[in-house]
Amino acid sequence: MFLQKTLRQRVSVSGHGLHSGAPCKLTFVPAPPRSGVHFVRADLPGRPSVKVLAENVTATGYATTLSCPEFSIATVEHCLSALSALRIDNLIVELDGPEIPIVDGSSKSFLDAILSVGLIEQDQPRQYCSIVEPIYFSEGEKQAYVLPYQGLRVSVTIDFPHPAIGRQKLDLDINEVSFAREVAPARTFGFVKDLESLQKQGLARGGGLHNAIGLDDHGILNPEGLRFPDEFVRHKALDALGDLVTLGMPLMGHLVLYKAGHDIMNKLVRKIQSSPSCTRVVEWGTDLAELQRVRAGV
């Protein structure tokens, strides 16, 4: 809780790319204190990298994409979600090609890989972005805001005009145990008509019922059914936690979302970064007493 963390040793996750359908591998690599989280293309000359920050997000349609001059990498939120829940401060996410393994469409494989090698504390205190005044962003009926909270909590509401989804809400304190049990196994979902359109464009060639919940106009196509009755909203919470990593440090606050996707999350994170009067950068333990005084208005 007090010190920054990274992985104890390297660990890999293999699978297939969502868009190409080709085999690919991701390797989590320990990184030094205060370095942050970076994606690195190990297969390209010079091993170019992009830091996981909101300013490097270049697309938010269907997934979050990070870019630097040498490459772009999409659908980063599933692996980043595990980092958010485990409070991993410093990490290199090494790629062997242009895509991240989609595995089963959830965060479980990434979480399991990290937990299999364990985490190690580093010799620098962790810094949190603590919310001391509410920050709000909305576009039409889509809403996102953060409130002061001693920890990390998410409240997510979705509302889809589909008989298998409808209105769902999840309200959860996020820690390693709650994330592993309630969020990490939740799979992404999509509509058959959208998948067919994407595949005609040469995209989503690796997508199917083995790595997503598929829906037609009437119901769920997966023969095994759902992992949770409200798996859809749980996956939206998973996505949001992944997008939170682009803040550059762990959030201490209560995130509330209504019909908000990757685009709204990116805009909210940018607003948090540009609202110094509503936030405090604190080191847990060192600055906790001062933070409590700020919140109390003393």
User: Which residues are marked as active site?
Assistant: 262
Is the separation of the CB atoms in 266 and 104 below 8 Å? Answer: no
Q: How far apart are CA 156 and CA 172, in angstroms?
A: 9
Q: How far apart are CA 150 and CA 137, in angstroms?
A: 21
Q: How far apart are CA 208 and CA 161, in angstroms?
A: 22
Structure tokens at 263: 């685009």
| Pairing assessment for the beta strands 119-125 and 3-7 based on DSSP bridges | antiparallel
Instruction: Give the CB-side neighbour count of residue 238, counting CA atoms within 13 A.
Output: 30
C-alpha 109, offset from chain centre: 14
Is the separation of the CB atoms in 12 and 26 below 8 Å? Answer: yes
Structure tokens at 36: 């942050």
